[in-house]
Chains A and B, each alone.
Chain A
């Protein structure tokens, strides 16, 4: 094991890359839960984003069309969850899980019907990297950030945007009011259900962007179940980050670092013992459990999180 394997520029660059999909899911979780809706369908939204991003890229040969399509389908799946959670007052966990299974089944089904067993086309339009020429020559920093993907930067920008939106604007205050005390919010004229719909739909779009990042920026292909639980890890990052965008970023970077380590330590040995690659791969998942176990008591979810809201006199 060397210092380079632990904190080298390669590891840090990989940390940013690997944190991005988790971050986007976590941001989706923040927006949705701040408005009072638990959306564990984020994993499914990511998966449909990944798949339909590839389909649209294949059909249109345009990255922009692909990303728009991915986010539209993610919004659609999230909208189904919104109807179930907000209008039908379903159990939000069960509805979310159902949509996750639906997303997995649907994308695997369509993957087979569209592309058979040969896999998705190899000439997909991919999301480009952003080359920051002046930085490229700077040692270390250049290696970390000079060649990152456009969606990595988009994710970082969204952290700032959503942080400012939630905590420095009136609509953001309203959204949080809906998640903390919907009755009080309604009393002052805020449309509770409408706000929740938009929040859930936005969360689906964010997660789908994370999914499209996986298929169009990283893998340049789609494989069944390729999101591998990143939507769920995103929810853990949201909790760990105390339901704030900046907190979610920090948490996502920690998970990203855990994953980056699991790659860079492949073949490494501690003393004489070679660390098995597969056991290193469990690192992000173990880290998630530990992080949530250590932090859940100390961070508080929005007061009305997960509770359906019934207009008075309507029940």
Chain B
């Protein structure tokens, strides 16, 4: 079913390429080559995949608890800001002190920020969709201030407002020797992403808390009857979600950019919604879906450069994937005509 929706989305994308006067086959070949054409391209795809995995987990934890977290983008950004601020402020500390501090700052900032949406939902009944969307805009403007003429502004050669670089102790090492893949930027963040997937699985399916979160997600009223207070679990779930997303931002700072700048995320938090839904909110599914969208992100930019087809085609494809999953019925009717209907999983 996920495969069918991706193929359907690629077909719709092809129509748009055709309509804009380009060859869809050539565009898709460029897309694929850009993503997997050489060892270097593969490592670049993986670099795109890492934040998508973590942000995908952030959306999925919330989904599993019956919450729609559209705020992964701002949770990621605020995690990056916190990591960048701590990493630069204490730049002289040795790595064994600095890195844990930066990690904690990134996760903590994301968790605290997301917990606000959880709290407003639990205490005031405010739909988390509205809160998290508004939070996305708020963080963007706060970052403009911090980086353009605020406390984090630092002179730099990027040509865009940016913070001071983080200390060398907090920088994630490149994990592939230069002789093997010249110029590769693939960093140790990939291990953190894998660890996060394992934590996600263990937390949700092997701990009492995870059981409670999933119980709330399947039915808040029934969970309450069983003595699980959905309100506290809502706050906890959002905090965990924000923690994953904050970690994504922190990894982008420590692994890729080594500082924070204006326009830091290319929408990973939004792609994460498609990642979580396509991956059916399961650990392996999210990892695979993140790889797919990582490949789209990497391949899309190459396609734009080579075939002259806007990389935005990728967001069209992504939206169609999302829509098809939302309207799961279409695909189900197309694939198996009379199978029993079941409601879309864990989305309230």
Contact = CB atoms under 8 A, between A and B. Distances in A.
Where chain A touches its partner, the secondary structure class is helix
Contacts of A236: 130, 134
Interface residues of B, number: 48
B20 interface: yes
A6 B325 CA distance: 48
Given A91-B347, A282-B138, A102 B323 contact: yes
Interface stretch (B35-43, B91-99, B142-150, B228-236): B142-150
Contacts of A93: 68, 129, 347
A90 interface: yes
Contact of B344 (A94, A233, A278, A279): A94
Given A94-B347, A98-B319, 14 more contacts: A40-B129, A91-B326, A91-B344, A93-B347, A94-B326, A98-B322, A101-B270, A109-B310, A236-B130, A278-B144, A279-B141, A282-B138, A285-B135, A297-B125
- The list of the 4 closest CB pairs from A to B, nearest first, reads A105-B315, A102-B319, A98-B322, A278-B145
A193 B273 CA distance: 29
Interface string A273-306: 0001111011001101100111011000000000
B273 A232 contact: no
Interface stretch (B178-186, B191-199, B327-335): B327-335
Contacts, number: 147
B133 interface: yes
Given A84-B323, A276-B150, A279-B142, A109 B126 contact: no
Most buried by B among A235, A279, A294: A279
Contacts of A104: 315, 319
B338 interface: no
A50 B129 CA distance: 24
A293 B116 CA distance: 11
A294 B130 CA distance: 14
B312 interface: yes
B313 interface: yes
Contact of A98 (B126, B312, B326, B344): B326
A97 interface: yes
B337 interface: no
Contacts of B150: 276, 278
A50 to B, nearest CB: 16
A102 B137 contact: no
Nearest to B329: A88
B78 to A, nearest CB: 13
A95 B323 contact: yes
A53 B134 CA distance: 26
A45 B60 CA distance: 27
Contacts of B273: 97, 101
Contact of B327 (A90, A105, A229, A282): A90
A99 interface: yes
A235 B130 contact: yes
A270 to B, nearest CB: 16
Contacts of A108: 310, 312, 315
Interface in A52-107: 80, 83-84, 88-91, 93-95, 97-99, 101-106
Contacts of A286: 134, 138
Given A90-B344, A113-B20, A105 B329 contact: no
Most buried by A among B133, B142, B274: B133
